[in-house]
Chain A
Amino acid sequence: MSDQPLLEIQNLSLNRDGRAILQNVNLSVYPGQIHALLGVNGSGKSSLAYALMGCAGYQPDSGHIWFDGQEITHLPIDERGRLGLTLAWQEPARFEGLTVGNYLGLGIDKPFGTAQDKPDRDRVAAALQAVNLPPKTYLRRHVDNTLSGGERKRVELAAVYAMRPRLAILDEPDSGIDTLSLDDVRALLRRMAENRTAVLLITHRDEMAEAADAASIMCLGSILFSGETATAQAFYQGRCQPHVAALGNQPWPGASLRMKEMAR
């Protein structure tokens, strides 16, 4: 693995509506690495994903984001996409009139790809198979509300896989009904690794992190820990989750605040 991080986040802070959403976040993801970002609901994981992509309303107040040595903190979202950074959304958008086949093709066709990355049916079909969706059944389906939530999430993961980005942010890929099992997600991560795609895997389930090369724990908008996956899992299982459970699985801010106190 390269010594130089592919993604480097330095002291990133973000406030929304007078509330600190991200606080001095520091995180590195290396080329080809699967990096799990663990945290309870409301800890700021998805907000970090949106800030990394450059989504409207998530421009950081301070700090820096570097991608392959280039500062991207203020780049628009499409330029980040063309550099090879993308996001599989936790609750993906739906598109009236756009077929699954065409939707997957959009990511392949764009300038981030090289000349040989022209959309081809085989690549689109392989991406659907990677998320257990039969291409014959799904290529001509529309990415609209005729797909179930689980099918839509699988299509989203397939679209990211088909794009072969350099870094994919997967936001809770296993959440929801009828979505991929833990084993399926692990298999998908392996396939992504074969394509030399690094992954920032956002999850609130510590078992999901088992496939990761490294892990971080996020709490109340801050990174509490970054390092070996096993250590992160143990901390998350032993200290974070029981407290969250004791607090009635309450999301932001109570649970996260208590966890942060525990970590001190």
Chain B
Amino acid sequence: MSTPTTTPTVNPPVWAGDPSFVDSGPGSGQALDSLMEAYRRAGGDPEAIRQANIATLVVSGNQVLIAHDIEGLRFEAEELPQGVKARIIVDPGVTIERLVHLCFGLLPAEGRQEIIASYEIGAGAKVAFLAHCTFPNAVRAEHVMDANIHVGAGATMKYTESHYHGETGGIKVLPKTRVTVAENGRFLTTFNLSHGRVGYMDIDYEIDVADSGLAELTTKVYGHEDDDVHVREVVRLNGRDARGLTKTRVAVRGRAHSAIHTVTEGNAPGTVGHMDCTEIVRDQAEAQNMPIVLVRNDEARVTHEAAIGSVSKKELETLMSRGLDEDDAVDVIIRGMLH
């Protein structure tokens, strides 16, 4: 790994205009203000980022605007020509009490952002991340994420990720994540993109789970107009008694398209996996679901359930009988499903 530009052992909390701010050059304070506004619109809480006891990493384009460590958790971030390479390290046995805030944004209408991230969660550690990815002005932009995650033995990592892609649909988002969960480790992730447009998105997750480990993936996406949603999730239950769950909730309207491809492999005795996919289709939209169950051990059990269809007539009529017009009623039902 090349030498990071920002490698404080314990970075101070920083904010635009603060001299201790991990500054990436002229204009970065303004960039932070703009990004925080976008962050707020995407559902984030800028106030949380100001707090000294909250670990925070904020990246705009290829600038690291904030990298604030706390005891037991540190960031090592390096700026690249078109993005950032970051290591997030949680020490073994540490429990991080407060949510770790991550914000990745690209503010210009055009451009490309590449994030190469490595999460190393030490054995027995416990940590929860709240990540926001925001591209509010994207017209012709691309965000590429290449992440590797290792959840150590007996460790727990929760990762909640919300995206806001703006209102034009002019963005390509290509997150690729490879996860290894060691024995008795737990990895739980939720991805949510339910406000604004999606654009083109191709989520690609692969997870390997060791003995008695757990992987839970929840993905919720709401596509409009000509949005194109691709989700590929592969969970390999390789260790004895490993467990896996993929839960996918996708709604598409207009001419949007979704293709959900989930694979769960039961490769060891006592492994239990389940895939649960619900997709709602309206207007001229199209939804595909391709679950694959692959079992290589006669003591493994993997199940799946999938439902693709319109909203329930009874749910729709119930809400309309309270005075909601059809569009509003559909929206309430879909947003509930994506909640």
Chain A residues near B (Cβ < 8 Å)? 53, 55-56, 76-78, 80-82, 86-87, 89, 92-98, 106-107, 110-113, 159, 163
**CA gap between A87 and B336 in the complex, in Å:** 22
Residues from chain A with Cβ under 8 Å of B319 in the complex: 106
Residues from chain B with Cβ under 8 Å of A98 in the complex: 332, 336, 339
Residues from chain A with Cβ under 8 Å of B30 in the complex: none
Residues from chain A with Cβ under 8 Å of B314 in the complex: 89, 93
Complex contact A78–B336 (CB within 8 A): no
Residues from chain B with Cβ under 8 Å of A110 in the complex: 322-324
Complex contact A80–B321 (CB within 8 A): yes
Complex contact A81–B324 (CB within 8 A): yes
Categorize the interface residue count of chain B: 20 to 34
Complex contact A93–B323 (CB within 8 A): no
Q: How many A-B residue pairs have CB under 8 A?
A: 66
Complex contact B313–A97 (CB within 8 A): no
Q: A96-B336, A97-B336, A97-B337 are in contact. Are A81 and B320 (CB under 8 A)?
A: yes
When each residue 305-339 of chain B gets 1 if its CB lies under 8 Å from chain A and 0 otherwise, what string results?
Answer: 00000001111011111111110010011011111
**CA gap between A152 and B325 in the complex, in Å:** 23
Complex contact B324–A106 (CB within 8 A): yes
How many whole Å from B311's CB to the nearest CB in chain A? 10
How many whole Å from B332's CB to the nearest CB in chain A? 7
**CA gap between A80 and B313 in the complex, in Å:** 17
Residue from the list A78, A87, A97, A113 in contact with B326, Cβ < 8 A: A78
Q: Which chain B residue has the least Cβ–Cβ distance from A92?
A: B318
**CA gap between A86 and B320 in the complex, in Å:** 9
Cβ-closest 6 pairs across A and B: A97-B339, A110-B323, A97-B336, A81-B323, A107-B322, A98-B336
Q: Which chain B residue has the least Cβ–Cβ distance from A84?
A: B323
Residues from chain B with Cβ under 8 Å of A87 in the complex: 321
A-B contacts besides A56-B313, A76-B326, A80-B321, 13 pairs, CB < 8 Å: A56-B317, A77-B321, A78-B320, A81-B320, A94-B315, A95-B333, A96-B336, A97-B336, A97-B338, A107-B322, A110-B322, A113-B323, A163-B323
Residues from chain B with Cβ under 8 Å of A111 in the complex: 323
**CA gap between A218 and B315 in the complex, in Å:** 27
Question: Would you mind naming 16 contact pairs between A and B with Cβ atoms under 8 Å apart?
Answer: A56-B317, A78-B320, A78-B321, A78-B324, A81-B320, A81-B322, A89-B314, A89-B318, A92-B318, A95-B333, A97-B336, A97-B338, A106-B324, A110-B323, A111-B323, A159-B322
Residues from chain A with Cβ under 8 Å of B322 in the complex: 81, 86, 106-107, 110, 159, 163
Residue from the list B329, B332, B333, B339 in contact with A78, Cβ < 8 A: B329
Complex contact B329–A93 (CB within 8 A): no
Complex contact A86–B335 (CB within 8 A): no
**CA gap between A251 and B153 in the complex, in Å:** 62
Complex contact B336–A77 (CB within 8 A): no
Complex contact A93–B312 (CB within 8 A): yes
How many whole Å from A217's CB to the nearest CB in chain B? 25
Residues from chain A with Cβ under 8 Å of B336 in the complex: 95-98
**CA gap between A96 and B329 in the complex, in Å:** 13
Residues from chain B with Cβ under 8 Å of A82 in the complex: 323
**CA gap between A96 and B322 in the complex, in Å:** 18
Residues from chain A with Cβ under 8 Å of B323 in the complex: 78, 81-82, 86, 107, 110-113, 163
How many whole Å from A102's CB to the nearest CB in chain B? 8
**CA gap between A68 and B332 in the complex, in Å:** 29
Residues from chain B with Cβ under 8 Å of A97 in the complex: 335-339
**Interface centre among B317, B318, B320, B326, by most A CB within 10 Å?**
B318
How many whole Å from A167's CB to the nearest CB in chain B? 12
**CA gap between A205 and B325 in the complex, in Å:** 35
**CA gap between A89 and B312 in the complex, in Å:** 15
**CA gap between A78 and B325 in the complex, in Å:** 5
**CA gap between A159 and B324 in the complex, in Å:** 14
How many whole Å from A8's CB to the nearest CB in chain B? 20
**CA gap between A56 and B310 in the complex, in Å:** 15
**CA gap between A172 and B323 in the complex, in Å:** 22
**CA gap between A78 and B323 in the complex, in Å:** 5
**CA gap between A56 and B314 in the complex, in Å:** 10
Complex contact B325–A93 (CB within 8 A): no
Residues from chain A with Cβ under 8 Å of B339 in the complex: 96-98
Residues from chain B with Cβ under 8 Å of A55 in the complex: 317
When each residue 82-122 of chain B gets 1 if its CB lies under 8 Å from chain A and 0 otherwise, what string results?
Answer: 00000000000000000000000000000000000000000
Q: A56-B317, A106-B332 are in contact. Are A96 and B324 (CB under 8 A)?
A: no
How many whole Å from B40's CB to the nearest CB in chain A? 23
Residues from chain A with Cβ under 8 Å of B329 in the complex: 78
How many whole Å from A155's CB to the nearest CB in chain B? 11
Complex contact A81–B321 (CB within 8 A): yes
**CA gap between A86 and B332 in the complex, in Å:** 18
